[in-house]
């Protein structure tokens, strides 16, 4: 369990980082918190000729609110997200998802950008991103671009990031008004990747209890985080039966078997978790004005 040889780069700025990444193309990989990449290197499941350590790029760290969006720098540690008052106030779903990631030692190193770029379909942050309608900011030597979370995740450990690109920040829309949020997951042990999970955001109309907007992100139930569009639409259209919303959500999912659970288990339990999360989010939204 020793990694294959690689060359180590330590840029101080995004500009330097993307220059190195551009120079080495698919032979280079950014190193963020290392909580997934380093074990994969040690097991030789992943190999890169060049590792670009972005842990010393200060401009990648920070949490800011502007114009109805929360912007979180890619190298902001999960532990910082977990403790941040602005995140708790403006992105409660993200705040509540964070303690479910691994253990605190992992969150002390793990970063929000790393989680999104690693794109493990059973992890929490990608599902939260698609539920809330987040965007990721991407830098490259030739310029930067923004991609919607729903378009960013292409497959297991695969994203829209091209060779030479660096994920620099995630932008989360602040859901305001009568909102409720809930995340539910089933993991074998505390801190494990979820067998199935659901992150739910709901905004009610100001005038009545009709659903103005719904965001449902599923994890552990397919090769990517799943935006449960049918269930979201049904909620907005007035569907309230939790089991039916769970069923509709899982109709958008594509779970598979592995050593921890069957696809059938994931479908059944995923629907249950969606239903439970929707009930909780609705109850919170009804409870008052945010």
Partner 1 sequence: MSVAAGRFIGQSVKRKEDPRLVTGHGTYVDDVTLPGMLHAAFLRSDVARARITAIDTAAAKALDGVRAVLTAADLNGTVRGPMLPTLFADGAQGPSAPIKPLAGDDVRFVGDPIALVIADSRYVAEDACDLIEVDYEILDPIVDFETAAASAELVHPELGSNVGSTMATPPDESLDAAFAGAAHVVSETFHQHRHANVPMETRGIVAAFDRYTGDLRVWMSSQNPHEVRMCCARILGMPENKVRVTQSDVGGGFGQKYFMPRDEMVVVLAAHLLGRPIKWIEDRRENLLASNHARTDKADVSMAVDADGHFLAARIDHLEDSGAFPSGGTGGTGVFVALLFPGPYRVAKLGWSTTAVWTNTCGRGAYRGPWMFETVAREQLVDVVARQIGIDPLELRRRNVIARDELPYASPGGMVFDNVSPAETLEQAAALIGYDEFRSAQAAARAEGRHLGIGLGLYIEPQAGMGPLGVEAAGLRVEPSGTVDVFLGSGSHGQSLETTMAQIVAEHLGVHVDSVVVHQGDTDVAPFGGGTGGSRSGPFLSAAARQASLQIREKAILIAAHLLEAAPDDLDLADGVIAVAGSPTRSVTLADVAKTAYLGSDGLPPGMEPGLEVVTRYKAPMVTYSNACHACTCEVDIDTGRVTLLRYVVSEDCGSMINPMVVEGQIAGGVAQGIGGVLYEHMVYDDAGNPLTATFMDYLLPTAAEIPMIDYGHIETPGITPGSHKGMGEGGAIGAPPAVFNAVADALAPLGVKLTRQPLTPSALVAAIESAGASRSR
Contact flag: residue 239 with partner 1 (CB under 8 A):
no
Contact flag: residue 264 with partner 1 (CB under 8 A):
yes
Residues in contact with partner 1, counted by CB under 8 A, come to a total of 30
Contact flag: residue 283 with partner 1 (CB under 8 A):
no
Instruction: Please report how close the Cβ of residue 104 comes to partner 1 at its closest, in angstroms.
Output: 12
CB 235 within 8 A of CB 211: yes
R_g (Cα) of the chain, nearest Å: 19
Burial class (CB in 10 A: 0-12, 13-18, 19+), 222: buried
Instruction: Please report how close the Cβ of residue 273 comes to partner 1 at its closest, in angstroms.
Output: 8
Phi, psi of 115 (to 5 degrees): -60, -45
Contact flag: residue 186 with partner 1 (CB under 8 A):
yes
Q: Considering the complex, state which of residue 89 and residue 243 has its C-beta at the smaller distance from partner 1.
A: 243
Q: Which stretch binds partner 1 (CB under 8 A): 132-140, 146-154, 212-220, 259-267?
A: 259-267
159-178 residues near partner 1, rule: CB under 8 A: none
Q: Considering the complex, state which of residue 34 and residue 191 has its C-beta at the smaller distance from partner 1.
A: 191
32-51 residues near partner 1, rule: CB under 8 A: 39, 43-44
Instruction: Please report how close the Cβ of residue 1 comes to partner 1 at its closest, in angstroms.
Output: 4
Q: Considering the complex, state which of residue 1 and residue 85 has its C-beta at the smaller distance from partner 1.
A: 1
Q: Considering the complex, state which of residue 25 and residue 39 has its C-beta at the smaller distance from partner 1.
A: 39
Contact flag: residue 8 with partner 1 (CB under 8 A):
no
Contact flag: residue 286 with partner 1 (CB under 8 A):
no
Interface with partner 1 (CB under 8 A), residue from 154, 243, 251, 283: 243
Contact flag: residue 188 with partner 1 (CB under 8 A):
yes
Contact flag: residue 268 with partner 1 (CB under 8 A):
yes
Q: Which stretch binds partner 1 (CB under 8 A): 63-71, 110-118, 141-149, 183-191?
A: 183-191
Q: Which stretch binds partner 1 (CB under 8 A): 54-62, 72-80, 147-155, 253-261?
A: 253-261
């Amino acid at each position: 369990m020793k990694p294959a040889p690689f060359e180590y780069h330590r840029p101080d700025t995004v500009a330097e980082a993307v220059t190195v990444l551009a120079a080495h193309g698919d032979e280079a990989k950014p190193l963020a918190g290392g909580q997934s990449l380093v074990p994969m290197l040690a097991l030789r499941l992943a190999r890169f000729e060049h590792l670009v350590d972005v842990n010393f790029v200060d401009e990648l760290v920070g949490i800011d609110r502007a114009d109805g969006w929360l912007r979180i720098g890619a190298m902001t540690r999960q532990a910082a997200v977990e403790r941040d008052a602005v995140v708790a106030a403006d992105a409660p779903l993200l705040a509540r998802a964070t303690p479910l990631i691994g253990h605190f030692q992992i969150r002390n190193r793990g970063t929000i950008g790393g989680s999104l770029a690693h794109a493990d379909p059973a992890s929490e942050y990608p599902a939260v991103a698609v539920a809330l309608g987040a965007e990721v900011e991407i830098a490259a030597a030739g310029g930067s671009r923004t991609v919607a979370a729903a378009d960013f995740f292409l497959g297991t450990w695969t994203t829209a990031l091209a060779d030479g690109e660096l994920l620099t920040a995630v932008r989360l829309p602040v859901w305001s008004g009568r909102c409720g949020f809930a995340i539910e997951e089933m993991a074998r042990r505390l801190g494990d990747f979820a067998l199935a999970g659901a992150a739910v955001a709901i905004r009610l109309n100001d005038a009545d209890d009709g659903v103005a907007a719904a965001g449902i992100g599923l994890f552990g139930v397919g090769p990517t985080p799943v935006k449960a569009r049918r269930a979201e639409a049904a909620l907005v259209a007035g569907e309230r039966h939790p089991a039916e919303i769970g069923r509709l959500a899982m109709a958008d999912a594509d779970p598979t078997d592995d050593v921890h659970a069957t696809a059938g288990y994931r479908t059944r339990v995923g629907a249950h978790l969606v239903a439970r999360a929707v009930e909780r989010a609705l109850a919170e939204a009804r409870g008052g004005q945010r």
